[in-house]
Amino acid sequence: MSPRNPPFQTEIRPYGKAAIAEAARLIGAGLPVAVPTETVYGLAADATSGEAVARIYAAKGRPSFNPLIVHVRSLAEAERIAEFDDRARDLAAHFWPGPLTLVLPMKAGARIAALVTAGLSTIALRVPAHPAMQALLEAAARPLAAPSANASGRISPTRAEHVAASLDGRIPLIVDGGPTAHGLESTIVAVGDGKVRLLRPGPIASAALGAVAGDATGTIEAPGQMASHYAPTKTLRLGATEAREDEWLIGFGDVPGDSSLSARGDLIEAAASLFQRLHEAEATDSAAIAVAPVPEQGLGTAINDRLRRAAAPR
Ligand code: TXA
Ligand code: MG
């Protein structure tokens, strides 16, 4: 059994049956592995496990939690996770498998870890075309969350060596499928309210999207890469060591609270449970939410970044 925590002896294995079997085993053990897609190399982990997804962020050293793209085998599997209207179905039928990501309302019963969507009610889905990612989805038999396989702030990797240069020692395995075909992250569009909004330009041109989405002239808006953020409806107080009257306190470590991000003060567990604890707190009768201090180190930086955004006045 390989170790569960870094530093790892990062293995680079050529894409093939053995590499995919090992990658699927590691995914089953809750660890992230790098795998090629037709756009860029992704750092894939079990999308149904908050802790597995937290390990993606830990490996990337990401200072904040952005929502991640979930990769699935087919449109049928995607439809079990998100609500597709006719336009979304047309886009999926035309461009999947391929470099198109659809942002759609998530279905209530979808078994996706809250950390994947960073607490949003929408989810980004993609059916990749690369045989290595397809084989891994098949072998792992679960949806895989995968951001680009680079350390935070570095450019997206289009070769196994790029992944190794930024993540060596931080992940157990890189599946080497050679250089990627597109070398550019997927086109992202949000579909809803009868509109198709281009969130990130990519390999699929907006004209091609427009031709399929029905109305090439007016439907596609490009608001740019505006980051959507989870925002609670209640006020949120940070650095709290005790609950004030009518506050629901989310604890951490020594601060017990009404619930806890991690009673043992574990940052991976805290990251994995963060959005779940916030949603629970919103659903209580308490008028406000307070959160215990989280140390500003490792994943704590990303946790605090999200908490500060959630606490920011609107
Ligand atoms: O080609 C790609 O898309 C690669 C491969 C590995 O699939 N993945 C990738 O993931 O580029 P990442 O995490 O680097 O970028 C994901 C983007 C982010 O800009 C994020 O804000 C956006 O997708 N995103 C994810 N979920 C979203 C949501 N619910 N609403 C709006 N944007 C979302
Ligand atoms: Mg990226």
Residues 201-235: pLDDT tens digits? 888 987 888 888 875 444 555 544 545 677 788 99
Is the distance from the beta carbon of residue 101 to the nearest atom of ligand 1 less than 6 Å? yes
Pairwise CA distance, residues 54 & 291, whole Å: 19
Give a yes or no: residue 228 inside a domain: no
Q: State which amino acid sits at residue 83.
A: E
Residue 176 shares a structural domain with residue 298 = no
Q: Is the pLDDT of residue 248 over 70?
A: yes
Q: What is the mean pLDDT of residues 186-210?
A: 86
Which one of 218, 253, 287 terminates a domain?
218
Is the distance from the beta carbon of residue 185 to the nearest atom of ligand 1 less than 6 Å? yes
Pairwise CA distance, residues 79 & 137, whole Å: 16
Give the distance (Å) from ligand 1 centre to CA of residue 245. Answer: 40
Residue 106 shares a structural domain with residue 160 = yes
Give a yes or no: residue 223 inside a domain: no
Is the distance from the beta carbon of residue 219 to the nearest atom of ligand 1 less than 6 Å? no
Pairwise CA distance, residues 309 & 71, whole Å: 27
Q: State which amino acid sits at residue 35.
A: V
Under 8 Å between Cβ of 278 and 232: yes
Give the distance (Å) from ligand 2 centre to CA of residue 148. Answer: 4
Give the distance (Å) from ligand 2 centre to CA of residue 186. Answer: 10
The CATH number for 161's domain is: 3.90.870.10
Q: Which atom of ligand 1 is nearest to the CA of 227?
A: 21
DSSP 8-class letter at 91? H
pLDDT of residue 216: 40
Is the distance from the beta carbon of residue 206 to the nearest atom of ligand 1 less than 6 Å? no
Pairwise CA distance, residues 121 & 119, whole Å: 7
Residue 259 shares a structural domain with residue 147 = no
**In this structure, which ligand is nearest to the CA of 41?**
1
Q: What is the mean pLDDT of residues 57-77?
A: 93
Give the distance (Å) from ligand 2 centre to CA of residue 187. Answer: 12
Q: Which atom of ligand 1 is nearest to the CA of 69?
A: 25
Name the pLDDT band for 306 (thresholds 50, 70, 90).
confident
Q: What is the mean pLDDT of residues 75-80?
A: 98
Residue 94 shares a structural domain with residue 163 = yes
Q: What is the mean pLDDT of residues 125-143?
A: 98
pLDDT of residue 215: 58
Whole-structure pTM value: 0.90
Which one of 218, 245, 260 terminates a domain?
218
Give a yes or no: residue 263 inside a domain: yes
Which one of 218, 245, 269 terminates a domain?
218
Give the three-state DSSP class for 301. helix
Is the distance from the beta carbon of residue 35 to the nearest atom of ligand 1 less than 6 Å? no
Residue 265 shares a structural domain with residue 138 = no
Is the distance from the beta carbon of residue 123 to the nearest atom of ligand 1 less than 6 Å? yes
Q: Is the pLDDT of residue 199 over 80?
A: yes
Give a yes or no: residue 28 inside a domain: yes
Residue 164 shares a structural domain with residue 270 = no
Residue 162 shares a structural domain with residue 272 = no
pLDDT of residue 249: 98
Is the distance from the beta carbon of residue 120 to the nearest atom of ligand 1 less than 6 Å? yes
Q: What is the pLDDT of residues 103-115, one digit of tens each?
A: 999 999 999 999 9
CB-facing half-sphere around the CA of 144: CA atoms within 13 A: 34
Domain containing residue 167:
11-218
**In this structure, which ligand is nearest to the CA of 40?**
1
Name the pLDDT band for 134 (thresholds 50, 70, 90).
very high
Is the distance from the beta carbon of residue 150 to the nearest atom of ligand 1 less than 6 Å? no
Helix (H) or strand (E) holding 76: helix 75-79
CB-neighbour burial class of residue 34 (10 A; exposed 0-12, middle 13-18, buried 19+): buried
What is the residue-wise DSSP string for 118-171? TT-SEEEEE----HHHHHHHHHHTS-EE--BSS-TTSPPPSSHHHHHHHHTTTS
Give a yes or no: residue 159 inside a domain: yes
Q: What is the mean pLDDT of residues 280-288?
A: 95
Q: What is the mean pLDDT of residues 141-146?
A: 98
Give a yes or no: residue 6 inside a domain: no
Residue 285 shares a structural domain with residue 173 = no
Q: What is the pLDDT of residues 8-62, one digit of tens each?
A: 999 999 999 999 999 999 999 999 999 999 999 999 999 999 999 999 999 999 8
Residue 161 shares a structural domain with residue 38 = yes
Using only C-alpha atoms, what is the Rg of the chain? 20
Is the distance from the beta carbon of residue 97 to the nearest atom of ligand 1 less than 6 Å? no
The whole-chain average pLDDT of the chain stands at: 91
Residue 175 shares a structural domain with residue 263 = no
Give a yes or no: residue 95 inside a domain: yes
Give the distance (Å) from ligand 2 centre to CA of residue 151. Answer: 9
Could you give the number of structural domains in the chain? 2
Give a yes or no: residue 225 inside a domain: no
Q: Which residues contact 153 (CB under 8 A, 6 or more apart)?
A: none
Under 8 Å between Cβ of 126 and 102: yes
Q: What is the pLDDT of residues 147-181, one digit of tens each?
A: 999 998 788 899 999 999 999 999 999 999 999 99
Residue 273 shares a structural domain with residue 191 = no
Residue 132 shares a structural domain with residue 270 = no
